[in-house]
Structures are given as structure tokens and as C-alpha cells.
């Protein structure tokens, strides 16, 4: 059995760790709240964008645009696929990073040609340790998702798409299914599929009320030209989706960390409880032992005295 001093030291160290996990829990919950508020502010824009784009696509005359249609000049196995992988900057978030990186690895192992665009430090370290080449790493984007960051990421991939370095672009991220569960998910960004541009778990929101939803069903005029309009709208859609994904991933990360820290707090409290019981037992055993020693010492003295008295007689 360990000595009381050892148990005390151990208990102290668990208490100190608990202070850290407690603080991290609180930080995550504030950050989560902030990120959620951020997401809510941008929602009207992106939902309207999605429903308008779907509407426009349905009424679109036949146009050729670089963002539409599969590229047919290459065989499927020769296509270069770009993956945007959104991971966290820090660990200690349960299985969050593991899930997303495992998923990404499964994806890339299917293809000969791929390019990885990684957001977040954890992802970069993980992939580098396994010798998987990264096309580009976006610093700091995971910590503080902003429109500016999303714009840089989308410009990077779209530029490569336009120049033919990439034939398909996917994004791998974690989204919050509800406030407790998160799920890893992959979506194809380009070539463009309008039905992909709806965020999950959200009913499609129409900008206007009423039967016609402010959508038209007849002829549609695109000015100055269909291509110019698409040029303006589509990059925004891609950028918007990336931004949404960044925020979703950030919310998921914070929620994963909150849960991990909650579990850590709980097991720390349990350990402290067990240690206190053990400490009390050890202390009690020591007291008992001391008493036994004193009593047996006294008894021995008594016996000695008795023996002496007998001798004198």
C-alpha cells in the first residue's frame, strides 16, 4: 500500500490537471457559442443563395460553363482529385481529428492522383508523419473561420481547377448533426452539382413567403450574358460552401472538445474520490497500527513489572 504522502501528491496532481480540463471546457463552450452566433448571421445569405441558384439552374438555357459537367477528356482513374480536409489546430478533442483524417486517408487510398489541401495543424502533422504529400496547408484558418480565409481557400482550388491541374474538388469536414452528435462528411464542390449545395440538417429556406416563393417558372433573362452571371454567382457559391463548412467544422471541434473535457473532468473526479477513500484507509491503518504498538508496548511493560514483583517476592 502506498504511503499517505504518495497518495496526497497524486491527488494534488489530478486536481491540477482537472483545473486545466475545466478551463478548457469553459473556453470551448464560449467559443462554440460565438461560432454559432457567427453562423446564424451568415445563414440568411447562404440559404437564399442556395435556393436562388437551384432556381436559376432549373431555368437555365443550355450553356457551356467550365464549372459544369464532368470532364470527359480523362478516364475516371486518371483524374486528379483535390480534397480540402478541415481538421483542428489542437488535439484534446476526442476522436475529432482522428475521424476526419481516417476518412480522408480512406478516400485518397482509392485513387492514384490526388492533392490534399489541409486546414489545421493536427491534420498537417498527422499526414506528414505518414509521408503523405500535402499540396497546400492553410495556416490559422481552423482557429478563426472568416470570409477572408474561405475566399483564399476557394480561390486556390478554383484556380487549379480552371488551369486543369485539378479535375474534381471535394471537401471533407465534420458537421453537427444536432447539438450532441457530429458526423464526418464529404461533398463534391466542382464540377458543380446544385443539389450538393444544401447544408445538411437544414430545410431549404425560401427567401419569400407565398405560393410562388418569389421564384419564376417562365422564361429567364440573364444579363449581361448567362456566362457572366454564372461567373459572378458560382465562385460565391463555392466560397460560401467552404465558409459554411469551416464554421460547421469549428463548431464540431469545439463541441468535441467540450465533450472530451467533460469526460476528463468526470474521470478525474472519480479518481480523486477513489484516492480519498484509499487515503483514509491508509491513514486509519496507520492509526490502528500505532495504537496497537502503544498498547502492546504498555502490555509488555506491565508484564515486565509483574515478573519483577514476583521475583522480589
Partner 1 sequence: MGTFDLKILATNKVFYDGKCKMLVVPALDGELAVMADHQNMVVATTIGDIRFQDDQSDEWHTAVVGIGFVHIANNRVTMLVDTAERPEDIDEVRAREAYERALEQLQQKQSIQEYHVSQASLARAMHRLKKGTRKIVD
| Smallest separation (angstroms) from partner 1 to the CB of 267 | 41
Task: Name the residue nearer to partner 1 (CB basis): 21 or 160.
Answer: 160
Q: Which grid cell sits at 51?
A: 435556393
Task: Name the residue nearer to partner 1 (CB basis): 56 or 249.
Answer: 56
57 binds partner 1 per the rule CB under 8 A = no
Write out the binding residues for partner 1, residues 179-208 only, by CB under 8 A: 207-208
62 binds partner 1 per the rule CB under 8 A = no
Write out the binding residues for partner 1, residues 133-152 only, by CB under 8 A: 147, 151-152
Q: Roughly what angle, to the nearest 10 degrees, separates helices 96-108 and 226-312?
A: 130
- Coil, strand or helix: which one is 69? coil
- β-sheet with 136-138: strand ranges across: 136-138, 114-119, 81-86, 168-176, 182-190
**C-alpha count within 13 angstroms, C-beta hemisphere, residue 35:** 26
**Burial of 271: CB neighbours in 10 Å, binned 0-12, 13-18, 19+:** middle
Q: What is the C-alpha to C-alpha distance for residues 30 and 34, in angstroms, rounded to an integer?
A: 6
Write out the binding residues for partner 1, residues 220-279 only, by CB under 8 A: 220-224, 228-229, 231-233, 236, 240, 243
20 binds partner 1 per the rule CB under 8 A = no
Task: Name the residue nearer to partner 1 (CB basis): 6 or 159.
Answer: 159
| Binds partner 1 (CB under 8 A): choice among 18, 27, 215, 272 | 215
| Smallest separation (angstroms) from partner 1 to the CB of 26 | 27
Write out the binding residues for partner 1, residues 150-169 only, by CB under 8 A: 151-152, 155-156, 159
Alpha-carbon distances of 71 from 74, 85, 110, 135, 252, rounded to whole Å? 7, 23, 19, 21, 34
| Binds partner 1 (CB under 8 A): choice among 44, 69, 164, 201 | 44
Closest CA to 93 of 266, 267, 262, 256: 256
Residues of this chain that interact with partner 1 (CB under 8 A) are 41-42, 44-46, 48-49, 52, 55-56, 147, 151-152, 155-156, 159, 207-208, 212, 214-216, 218-224, 228-229, 231-233, 236, 240, 243
Amino acid at each position: 500500500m502506498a504511503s499517505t504522502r504518495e497518495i496526497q501528491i497524486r491527488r494534488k496532481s489530478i486536481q491540477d490537471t482537472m483545473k486545466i480540463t475545466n478551463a478548457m471546457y469553459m473556453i470551448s463552450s464560449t467559443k462554440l457559442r460565438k461560432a454559432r452566433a457567427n453562423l446564424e448571421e451568415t445563414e440568411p445569405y447562404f440559404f437564399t443563395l442556395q435556393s436562388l441558384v437551384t432556381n436559376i439552374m432549373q431555368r437555365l438555357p443550355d450553356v457551356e460553363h467550365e464549372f459544369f459537367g464532368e470532364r470527359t477528356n480523362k478516364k475516371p482513374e486518371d483524374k486528379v482529385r483535390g480534397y480540402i480536409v478541415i481538421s483542428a489546430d489542437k488535439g484534446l478533442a476526442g476522436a475529432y481529428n482522428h475521424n476526419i483524417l481516417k476518412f480522408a486517408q480512406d478516400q485518397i487510398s482509392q485513387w492514384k492522383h490526388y492533392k490534399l489541401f489541409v486546414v489545421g495543424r493536427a491534420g498537417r502533422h498527422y499526414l506528414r508523419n505518414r509521408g503523405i504529400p500535402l499540396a497546400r496547408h492553410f495556416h490559422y484558418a481552423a482557429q478563426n473561420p472568416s470570409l477572408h480565409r474561405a475566399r483564399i481557400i476557394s480561390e486556390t482550388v478554383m484556380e487549379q481547377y480552371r488551369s486543369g491541374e485539378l479535375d474534381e474538388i471535394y471537401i471533407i469536414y465534420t458537421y453537427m448533426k444536432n447539438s450532441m452528435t457530429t458526423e464526418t462528411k464529404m461533398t463534391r464542390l466542382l464540377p458543380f452539382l446544385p443539389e450538393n449545395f444544401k447544408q445538411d440538417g437544414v430545410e431549404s429556406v425560401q427567401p419569400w413567403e407565398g405560393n410562388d416563393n418569389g421564384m419564376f417558372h417562365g422564361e429567364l433573362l440573364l444579363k449581361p450574358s448567362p456566362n457572366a452571371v454564372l461567373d459572378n454567382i458560382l465562385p460565391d457559391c463555392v466560397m460560401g460552401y467552404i465558409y459554411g463548412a469551416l464554421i460547421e467544422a469549428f463548431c464540431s471541434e469545439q463541441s468535441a472538445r467540450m465533450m472530451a473535457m467533460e469526460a476528463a473532468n468526470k474521470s478525474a473526479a472519480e479518481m480523486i474520490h477513489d484516492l480519498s477513500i484509499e487515503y483514509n484507509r491508509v491513514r486509519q491503518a496507520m492509526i490502528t497500527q500505532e495504537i496497537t504498538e502503544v498498547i502492546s508496548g504498555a502490555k509488555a511493560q506491565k508484564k515486565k513489572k509483574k515478573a519483577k514483583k514476583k521475583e522480589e517476592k
